[in-house]
């Protein structure tokens, strides 16, 4: 597996990471714990060194899973987790619809760090993201709290998730930001307008989540696909049957390129991301070993300048239908 550095942070990770959320939360019933542990350890065996979780996934159970699975590999892997929600341990995990309120008050960040350290079974959190920008807490206070945790040796690197350019700059003025995590793929390209140029200027890495469009860009979902009742895609405007039918054109485009390259649509979607910048590290999630192998195979797919121009030209003629989140979740993105 090729390695990449997240900006100027000297945080070096595998070119493709593993998003672990779906093993516990959001995409239907949670995986069997032992099967999930086996999958995570299989990823390590295949060269993956970058694993993504958060306290809200479950809540709490995904961090515990990742901590247990990666316990034998301390020092060999990088674990990213996140703070920023007000969680009650008794919270009924209802998927994304049941997301609690935001809370990035400095004292709360420090409490979350203590809990995450225990669940992850680590002495220090490799990368600690603010999960969503909290409009009630100045980002300078958030960065200051993480700076304290770094000084105490409890956190190694600071990250932001779904933050806008202005927030990134203000945070960077207090504490170097190692990485920004936001949704980015061929069907959600908003980061290209302001966020990516800002990260390039400041030397910050970028970690695209949902790099396969929550599964849609794999070509395995069509307008007739039925999701489990607990799958949060049921709440997403972009996943209505009508939107899926309209958005099939993008999957068809990936399929055409894939056929020519001897690859799969998912591999082309990931290879396209890797080709955008050398400091971009996507974190596709999966619950299946053959999908893990497929995703990791994207690192070996070479897209030429001509391929990229062709994708760009064809994609520019496709208008993706439907919002990427329900309105209450879209409002949780930073400025």
* CATH number of the domain to which 89 belongs: 3.20.20.100
Q: Per the domain annotation, does 98 fall within a domain?
A: yes
Residue 81, number of CB atoms within 10 A of its CB: 32
181 and 160 Cβ atoms separated by less than 8 Å = yes
Q: Per the domain annotation, does 318 fall within a domain?
A: no
pLDDT of residue 333: 76
* N- to C-terminal Cα separation, the chain: 35
3-class SS at 115?
helix
Q: Per the domain annotation, does 222 fall within a domain?
A: no
Q: What is the pTM of this model?
A: 0.95
Q: Per the domain annotation, does 173 fall within a domain?
A: yes
Specify the residue for token string 């970690």: 207
Q: Per the domain annotation, does 45 fall within a domain?
A: yes
Q: Per the domain annotation, does 225 fall within a domain?
A: no
pLDDT < 50: residue spans in the chain: 91-97
- DSSP H or E stretch at residue 51: strand 50-52
Q: Per the domain annotation, does 67 fall within a domain?
A: yes
pLDDT of residue 174: 98
Q: What angle do CA 38, 39, 44 make, to 5 degrees?
A: 95
| Domains contained in the chain, number | 1
State the number of CA atoms in the 13 A half-sphere of 116 facing the CB.
28
Structural domain including 123 reads 3-215+277-301
Q: How far apart are CA 164 and CA 150, in angstroms?
A: 23
Q: How far apart are CA 208 and CA 270, in angstroms?
A: 10
Between strands 3-5 and 12-14, the pairing is antiparallel
The one catalytic residue in 57, 129, 209, 325 is 57
pLDDT of residue 88: 66
Q: Per the domain annotation, does 129 fall within a domain?
A: yes
pLDDT of residue 99: 64
pLDDT of residue 98: 54
57 as an active site residue: the answer is yes
């Amino acid at each position: 597996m090729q390695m990449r550095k997240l900006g100027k942070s000297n945080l070096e990770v595998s070119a493709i990471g593993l998003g672990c959320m779906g093993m516990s939360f959001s995409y239907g019933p949670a995986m069997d714990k032992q099967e999930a542990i086996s999958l995570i350890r299989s990823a390590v065996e295949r060269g993956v060194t970058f694993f993504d979780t958060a306290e809200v996934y479950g809540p709490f159970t995904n961090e515990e899973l990742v901590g247990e699975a990666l316990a034998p590999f301390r020092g060999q892997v990088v674990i990213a987790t996140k703070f920023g929600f007000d969680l009650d341990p008794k919270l009924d995990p209802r998927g994304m619809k049941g997301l609690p309120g935001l809370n990035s008050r400095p004292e709360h960040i420090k409490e979350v760090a203590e809990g995450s350290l225990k669940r992850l079974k680590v002495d220090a959190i490799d990368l600690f993201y603010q999960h969503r920008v909290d409009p009630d807490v100045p980002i300078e206070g958030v960065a200051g709290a993480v700076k304290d945790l770094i000084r105490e040796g409890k956190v190694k690197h600071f990250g932001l998730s779904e933050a806008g350019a202005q927030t990134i700059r203000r945070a960077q003025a207090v504490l170097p930001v190692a990485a920004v995590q936001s949704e980015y793929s061929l069907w959600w390209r908003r980061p290209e307008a302001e966020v990516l140029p800002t990260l390039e200027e400041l030397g910050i890495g970028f970690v695209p989540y949902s790099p396969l469009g929550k599964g849609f860009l794999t070509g395995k979902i069509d307008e007739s696909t039925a999701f489990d009742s607990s799958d949060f895609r049921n709440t997403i405007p972009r996943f209505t049957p009508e939107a899926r039918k309209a958005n099939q054109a993008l999957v068809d485009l990936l399929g055409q390129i894939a056929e020519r390259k001897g690859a799969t649509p998912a591999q082309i979607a990931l290879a396209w991301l890797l080709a955008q910048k050398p400091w971009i590290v996507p974190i596709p999630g999966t619950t299946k070993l053959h999908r893990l192998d497929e995703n990791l195979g994207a690192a070996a797919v070479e897209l030429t300048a001509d391929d990229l121009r062709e994708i760009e030209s064809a994609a520019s003629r496709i208008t993706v239908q439907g919002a990427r989140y329900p309105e209450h979740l879209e409002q949780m993105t930073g400025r």
